[in-house]
Amino acid sequence: MPPTDSIAELQGAVEDAAKALRDGEPTEPAPTLDRPPKPDLGDYSSNAAMLLAGSLGDNPRAVAERLRGELEGRLGGAAGSLDRVEVAGPGFVNLFLSDAWYRRALAGLVAAGEDLGPAPTATPERILVEFVSANPTGPLHVGGGRGAAYGDAVVRLLSAIGHEVEREYYINDAGSQVTNFAASISARMQGEELPENGYQGEYVVELGKEIAAAGIDPGDLEAVGDRGIELMIGQVRATLSRFGVEMDTWFSERSLVERGDVDSSLAKLDASGHTYRHEGALWLRTTEFGDDKDRVLIRSDGEPTYLMPDIAYHWDKLERGFGRLVDVLGADHHGYVARLRASIEALGADPGSFEALIMSLVHIVEDGQRAQMSKRRGDFVSLDDLIDDIGVDAARWFMLWRSHETTVDIDLALARKQASDNPVYYVQYAHARIASILRKAAEEGSEMPESVDAVERSEPLAVSEKALIKRLLEFPHEVHEAAARRAPHRICAYSTAVAADFHAFYRDCQVVGAEGEAVERSRLALCLATKRTIAGALGLLGISAPERM
RNA sequence: GCCCCCGUAGCUCAGCUGGAUAGAGCGUCGGACUUCUAAUCCGAGGGUCGCAGGUUCGAAUCCUGCCGGGGGCGCCA
């Protein structure tokens, strides 16, 4: 029995009960099945009566009373799921479930094995998530790291609900910043002054040494630039790999230009009639598609703007068969979204297939001061430094535990000093604690309950056992919501809640050596299901679930 | 001026496709280790959900206006 069936049984009963009151017509919107704010208000509660009151022309509490009768018939009696139904507040229908229901739910959880996530979506899509895509002119900094952690988690979430998802990094290896980068390296190699707006970081000096050692002439700017980009991409790749992020594709902007894709996209736009010449430049009439002003595609000096290859790039993504394009962009690029979407529409594609997720800033705080993060000035905190400092798990957690649209501060001193109070350790500790219990059980000769019989245990369940079972049952829904809303931070919150419920259960309930063999077996089963859920949740975040701490 | 994000406990933030007495972590204060990991747990204190209207059985949540903070508004990328 899949773990969600216990919830589906209740949801179905509520919907059927509501339908019965409306001569078989379903309620729109569907009634909720929520966790009430306080435990003494029952295990689950529904707003069905409030939704129905209007169309039935009756007051919500009276409707709730009728629903109560329907629900008792469906879930009570022989079904044995129900202790009682209460009507409370403005007309909430509160379900108080029997121990039998909880035992069945637990049996379902354990029987599901590792597969505790949501059922695959009925409408799977091929999705390309482009993220990080930092200019290859310097090491990855913490802002890029947040994009990496977020984009990677979004991919994991979308995959978890059954989409076919790929990770891609767009390498800006064409255009003026590459020229500037080459000039900066070259200047360092020759001990000259950096060009105006040159890249000032110490890493540029290091790159220069490496490039010189490879026998490249500092005067050959093209060769210097090529090698510099290559070395930087190698570094970025290594950093991401260390961070647990593996891209499926590294897509070169230059390759687009060389293949002629930029020219063909331009021709396509021209043919569509959405372009025009003005003051020597070629413009795209993006205002026809919701942008606030038209945009230049080709400057009056004949050079394409940044937008042009990007249009070609997104067109290429669509041509590769992706039905949905997700771009994870830095906050400084959000003004760019409207014109890109407009451009995609101008090409005749569905603008709804393009989705931009805007990342807010991440600040590294040290000694109460925010570190600067300008690549040009070179005084930024690199992702590597952060990982060295607080580790991959903590770094990923702190980048993910807040909504991506909220600025995040990571106080290094605090993260170092309070490592033991860190929320990520709190969750990991619960996992390790369970592992320890299971080891202990094995030592005592207890068998791992890969399945439990729902009727085996006659002893009542403790309040904290029920709370934990109920929490585990929420997992599929939480994953689904987090994926749909592109909100991995919900998984952080959920993991914390699972850990808290587990710790409470641990406090109240002896597992190994519990009174009664059936009790011990069911509690071991609950530990197993909890361990799998925590590992699954952390896995969605790219965070490890240790066996020992 | 226009666009985007934010404004919720002392601090950092969840909750925002409407539900009951608004939550968590940190910090403060007070308790709990002869028991499967005390990296834990229990308790206390802490709130005009920026302000004002509106929508309705019901608003932190939706709508309008205003105030405050951040970011973006280039023939740069």
Q: How confident is the model at residue A370 (pLDDT cuts 50, 70, 90)?
A: low
**pLDDT at residue number A444:** 87
Q: How confident is the model at residue A372 (pLDDT cuts 50, 70, 90)?
A: very low
**pLDDT at residue number A376:** 39
**Residue A248 in this model has a pLDDT that exceeds 90:** yes
Asked if the structure places residue A383 within a domain, the reply is: no
- Estimate in Å the CA A496 to C1' B7 gap, whole number: 26
Asked if the structure places residue A468 within a domain, the reply is: yes
Asked if the structure places residue A394 within a domain, the reply is: no
Q: What is the CATH number of the domain that holds A527?
A: 1.10.730.10
Number of domains in chain A: 3
Strands laid side by side in the A354-359 sheet: A249-252, A164-171, A126-130, A324-330, A354-359
**Residue A289 in this model has a pLDDT that exceeds 60:** yes
Scanning every strand, the nucleotide with its C1' closest to A439's CA turns out to be B36
Peptide bond into A29 cis (omega under 30): yes
The CA–CA distances, whole Å, from A442 to A450, A506, A549 equal 13, 18, 19
Last residue of a domain, one of A312, A329, A358: A358
Q: What is the CATH number of the domain that holds A55?
A: 3.30.1360.70
Cα Rg of chain A (Å, integer): 29
The CA–CA distances, whole Å, from A518 to A297, A414, A427 equal 72, 45, 28
Same domain as A74, residue A35: yes
**Antiparallel, parallel or unpaired: β A82-88 and A44-46:** unpaired
- What is the C-alpha separation between A368 and A381, in angstroms, rounded? 15
Mean pLDDT of A483-487: 92
**Residue A433 in this model has a pLDDT that exceeds 90:** yes
Same domain as A49, residue A170: no
**Residue A173 in this model has a pLDDT that exceeds 60:** yes
Q: Which residue has the higher pLDDT, A16 or A335?
A: A16
ipTM of this complex prediction, to 2 decimal places:
0.93
Contact call for residues A44 and A95 (beta carbons, < 8 A): yes
Q: How confident is the model at residue A239 (pLDDT cuts 50, 70, 90)?
A: very high
**pLDDT at residue number A371:** 59
Same domain as A147, residue A13: no
- Estimate in Å the CA A549 to C1' B33 gap, whole number: 18
**pLDDT at residue number A326:** 94
Same domain as A152, residue A88: no
**Residue A521 in this model has a pLDDT that exceeds 70:** yes
**pLDDT at residue number A98:** 93
Mean pLDDT of A193-201: 86
Same domain as A162, residue A47: no
Asked if the structure places residue A109 within a domain, the reply is: no
- Estimate in Å the CA A324 to C1' B76 gap, whole number: 29
Q: What is the 3-state secondary structure (H, E, C) of A351-407?
A: HHHEEEEEECCEEEEECCEECCCCCCCCCCCEHHHHHHHHHHHHHHHHHHCCCCCCC
Contact call for residues A262 and A256 (beta carbons, < 8 A): yes
Please name the residue whose C-alpha is nearest to the C1' of nucleotide B15: A490
Scanning every strand, the nucleotide with its C1' closest to A437's CA turns out to be B36
Same domain as A93, residue A130: no
- Estimate in Å the CA A356 to C1' B24 gap, whole number: 29
Q: Read off the pLDDT of residues A56-84 as tens digits, 9 standing for 90 and up.
A: 888 889 999 999 999 999 998 877 899 99
Q: How confident is the model at residue A375 (pLDDT cuts 50, 70, 90)?
A: very low
**pLDDT at residue number A177:** 86
Q: How confident is the model at residue A418 (pLDDT cuts 50, 70, 90)?
A: low
Please name the residue whose C-alpha is nearest to the C1' of nucleotide B75: A299
For A277, the enclosing helix (H) or strand (E) is strand A275-278
**pLDDT at residue number A1:** 42
Mean pLDDT of A198-211: 92
**Could you tell me which residues come within 8 angstroms of residue A213 by beta carbon, excluding any fewer than 6 positions away?**
none
Scanning every strand, the nucleotide with its C1' closest to A520's CA turns out to be B36
Scanning every strand, the nucleotide with its C1' closest to A419's CA turns out to be B39
Q: How confident is the model at residue A380 (pLDDT cuts 50, 70, 90)?
A: low
Contact call for residues A511 and A524 (beta carbons, < 8 A): yes
**Residue A466 in this model has a pLDDT that exceeds 60:** yes
Asked if the structure places residue A12 within a domain, the reply is: yes
* Both tokens assigned to A102: 């909880």
Please name the residue whose C-alpha is nearest to the C1' of nucleotide B36: A437
Asked if the structure places residue A448 within a domain, the reply is: yes
Mean pLDDT of A516-523: 91
**Could you tell me which residues come within 8 angstroms of residue A44 by beta carbon, excluding any fewer than 6 positions away?**
A10, A33, A34, A35, A36, A94, A95, A97
Mean pLDDT of A363-384: 61
**Residue A378 in this model has a pLDDT that exceeds 50:** no
Q: How confident is the model at residue A374 (pLDDT cuts 50, 70, 90)?
A: very low
Question: Mean pLDDT for chain A?
Answer: 89
- Estimate in Å the CA A488 to C1' B4 gap, whole number: 21
Asked if the structure places residue A217 within a domain, the reply is: yes
- Estimate in Å the CA A89 to C1' B52 gap, whole number: 30
Please name the residue whose C-alpha is nearest to the C1' of nucleotide B70: A407
Mean pLDDT of A4-25: 87
**Residue A377 in this model has a pLDDT that exceeds 60:** no
Same domain as A302, residue A191: yes
Same domain as A148, residue A93: no
The CA–CA distances, whole Å, from A419 to A30, A235, A425, A490 equal 44, 28, 8, 22
- Estimate in Å the CA A399 to C1' B8 gap, whole number: 22
Same domain as A210, residue A346: yes
Same domain as A159, residue A68: no
Report the percent of chain A where pLDDT is more than 90: 64
* Both tokens assigned to A211: 């490039």
Last residue of a domain, one of A358, A377, A395: A358
Please name the residue whose C-alpha is nearest to the C1' of nucleotide B5: A405
Last residue of a domain, one of A323, A358, A393: A358
- Estimate in Å the CA A290 to C1' B3 gap, whole number: 12
Same domain as A149, residue A90: no
Ordered DSSP codes for A327-358: EEEEGGGGGGHHHHHHHHHHTTS-GGGEEEEE
Q: How confident is the model at residue A413 (pLDDT cuts 50, 70, 90)?
A: low
Contact call for residues A538 and A427 (beta carbons, < 8 A): yes
Asked if the structure places residue A113 within a domain, the reply is: no
By residue range, what is the domain housing residue A138? 126-358
**pLDDT at residue number A492:** 93
Q: What is the CATH number of the domain that holds A172?
A: 3.40.50.620
**pLDDT at residue number A207:** 95
Ordered DSSP codes for A479-540: HHHHHHTT-THHHHHHHHHHHHHHHHHHHH---TT-SSHHHHHHHHHHHHHHHHHHHHHHHH
Scanning every strand, the nucleotide with its C1' closest to A420's CA turns out to be B39
Q: Read off the pLDDT of residues A142-152 as tens digits, 9 standing for 90 and up.
A: 888 999 999 99
Same domain as A174, residue A62: no
**pLDDT at residue number A420:** 67
